[in-house]
Amino acid sequence: MTYVIAQPCVDLKDRACVDECPVDCIYEGKRMLYIHPDECVDCGACEPVCPVEAIFYEDDTPEEWKAYYDANVHFFDDLGSPGGAAKLGEIDHDHELVAALPPQEHDE
């Protein structure tokens, strides 16, 4: 089990979760953040600090965003397990589900 970042993060990337994560397992794609399922220790520190409530425990992900579990997992297909997001910085791609979305509007 792991945590999942879903659609409310797309085109926002607040990064409060990144600052809170004790194991540096939240990676930055072009349009959203992704939690590495093998590096996440399920501590839950990221979930309450997300300003748009985009982070869910895998089993608690709303039905409309269930596909984001696969997006978080498969974002790392080519990256493998780098062992920490900080050293990579922004990764120049997104999962196809995210890349195909129209620009997301966010209330400021």
Note the pLDDT tens digit of each residue in 16-68: 999 999 999 999 999 999 999 999 999 999 999 999 999 999 999 999 999 99
pLDDT at 105: 84
- Residue 57 backbone phi and psi in degrees, to 5: -65, 140
Q: How far apart are the first and last CA of the chain?
A: 32
Closest Cα partner for 62 from 5, 1, 22, 16? 5
pTM, rounded to two decimals: 0.95
pLDDT of residue 108: 58
Domain boundaries, the chain: 3-99
- What backbone torsions phi and psi does residue 88 show, to the nearest 5 degrees? -95, -30
Q: Which fold has domain 3-99?
A: Alpha-Beta Plaits (3.30.70)
| 3-class secondary-structure state, position 31 | coil
